[in-house]
Structure 1
Amino acid sequence: MRRIKLTIEFDGTHFAGLQTQAQGERTVQGELEAALAQIPGALPKIVACGRTDTGVHALAMPVHYDTQDPIPAAKIPFALNGLLPPDLRALSAEEVDPGFHARKSCFWREYRYRILQRTFPPALERNRVWWIPQALNLVPMRHALEDLVGLHDFGAFAIKEERSTLREVYRAHLEVRPTDSGREIWMEFIGSGFVRGQVRSMVGTLVEVGLGKRDSSSIAALLHSGNRSQAGPTAPPQGLYFVRAGYEPYGKH
């Protein structure tokens, strides 16, 4: 029996999230396990590094599965991509130690959120960005980001989270990227893990800061309160991307 670490990318537009749903909706896990079931010797059960909600995308999501097939690891993406739908792709594969666990062995995860600022809504990127035509003041947004870094109880940004909401954010960064008709604002977060809805709730709150609806200094008090009703709205899912994961302590990668 071999354990395979597989890195995948997917367009989340037509998926009801990553994890299999009780209602039988289309999911990334369901499609990937259906493909693995067609490879003799592969056990059609994956474990992912994290989870994503409906409409959220992934650039490089690690998962693992066990197999007795003789396919060389380098050839596995070729075999799988012939079985997977076009909005889900295997990027790379490697054989790992049997004790490796895509989720439990992970030290940190990185997410990116894309906001498009221009006069008119996008046609080509409508399922890839959050369109905000109003000008955002980036100075207070950057100040607010600083207060999100560190070990905090992120209960104020959690959505239906039953586990502990204590998490550590290692990096929170805002970047501006000019486009032909406006600009994109990328907010990137690296942390030990994120509670359900955390990144999208943080982004929605930061947008309120940028619009002048909330003071940047309110973030610290919000974290202390743990009250979700005091935070901003949850940003839409299509602007969110799982970027990558790290399997050694952050700063050593």
Structure 2
Amino acid sequence: MQRIKLVLAYDGTDFCGWQLQPELRTVQGVLEQAIIRITGTPVRVHGSGRTDSGVHAFGQVVHFDVEEDRAAVPWQRALNSLLPDDVTVLNAELVPSDFHSRFNAVRKTYTYTLWLDNSFFLPWRRHYVWKCGPLDLSALDRGMQFFLGEHDFASFQNTGTPVSSTVRTIHEFRRYPGQIGQEMILEVCGSGFLKQMVRNMVGCLVNIGRGKAEPETVRSLLQMKDRTAAPATAPAQGLCMAGVYYGESGCGGTDIGRNQPQGSGIDGEA
């Protein structure tokens, strides 16, 4: 058997998330169906993490095994000819048999896009941003800094996925302008993320930016380890899995998961 690694981009609007679910359309499901049309036999695809309904990706990394005589298939071109319009293969390559898209990953990057203008809204952006309105960006920046470093993120984990530890490390947290003047992008890179952790952090930061909480609230919530004390979860459609990294270092969405496999692994989902 030979192991194939893919990097995917997808629009999560019409998917019920990444993971296979009976009778529901998922990214994993349509990808496996396309692979089976090439191999003629069932193939299980393993993802670097799970995304919820409505969440997008520009750097989802997956792997699967095929018989040796199928390894030379031009997988990027072949799959893109079979996949629906809302998912595409950005890169395909043969990797060592011990590579694992989830367990070898050492860092992940997510972006979250906010719409900051209440005077108008571009309707075709509704599936990709959170229309949160104007924010105090200085307060938001101060709140962001409290997330940096290693912390117990129990206050920012939603229920549904058992994990051995809720301790994670945030390496970078920054913001920059979006493609449209009314948009702002938050980008966070960490050792791993708990269930809906990124959306919960963004929900907290927007609360701070609206003047409903002080930036130091982040520190207090981290110490409390109580999800019920934290603000509501941000909507799914603003979130995008931007990159997965397998080297000793690296953050930011531009590498789209192409580093060499090595590392101890991450768990959970955002």
Interval containing the TM-score (normalised by the shorter chain): over 0.9
Letter aligned with residue 18 of structure 2: L
State percent identity of aligned pairs.
38
Task: Quote the Cα distance in structure 2 between the aligned partners of 1:193 and 1:178.
Answer: 27
Deviates more, 1:78-87 or 1:96-105: 78-87
| Unmatched runs of 5 consecutive residues or more in structure 2 | 252-258, 260-270
Task: Quote the Cα distance in structure 1 between the aligned partners of 2:2 and 2:25.
Answer: 28
SS in 2 for 1:162: coil
- Structure-2 residue corresponding to 1:36: 35
- Structure-2 residue corresponding to 1:175: 176
Deviation at 1:40, TM superposition (A): 2.3
Residue 190 (str. 1) matches residue 186 (str. 2): no
**Count of matched residue positions in the alignment of Structure 1 and Structure 2:** 248
Letter aligned with residue 13 of structure 2: T
- Structure-1 residue corresponding to 2:127: 127
SS in 2 for 1:39: helix
Deviation at 1:123, TM superposition (A): 0.8
- Structure-2 residue corresponding to 1:215: 214
Task: Quote the Cα distance in structure 2 between the aligned partners of 1:13 and 1:177.
Answer: 20
Task: Quote the Cα distance in structure 2 between the aligned partners of 1:49 and 1:16.
Answer: 17
Task: Quote the Cα distance in structure 1 between the aligned partners of 2:178 and 2:86.
Answer: 26
Where do residues 91-240 of structure 1 align in structure 2 (5 Å cutoff)? Answer: 91-118=90-117, 119-133=119-133, 135-160=134-159, 161-163=161-163, 164-177=165-178, 179=180, 182-240=181-239
CA contact under 8 A between 1:43 and 1:67: conserved in structure 2? no
Task: Quote the Cα distance in structure 1 between the aligned partners of 2:48 and 2:39.
Answer: 25
Letter aligned with residue 7 of structure 1: V
CA contact under 8 A between 1:43 and 1:66: conserved in structure 2? no
Deviation at 1:121, TM superposition (A): 2.8
- Structure-2 residue corresponding to 1:65: 64
| Unmatched runs of 5 consecutive residues or more in structure 1 | none
SS in 2 for 1:8: strand
Letter aligned with residue 78 of structure 2: A
CA contact under 8 A between 1:158 and 1:196: conserved in structure 2? yes
- Structure-1 residue corresponding to 2:248: 249
Deviates more, 1:198-207 or 1:222-231: 222-231
Task: Quote the Cα distance in structure 1 between the aligned partners of 2:100 and 2:42.
Answer: 15
CA contact under 8 A between 2:115 and 2:131: conserved in structure 1? yes
SS in 1 for 2:218: helix
SS in 2 for 1:100: coil
TM-score by length of 1: 0.93
- Structure-2 residue corresponding to 1:76: 75
Task: Quote the Cα distance in structure 1 between the aligned partners of 2:147 and 2:179.
Answer: 26
RMSD: 1.6
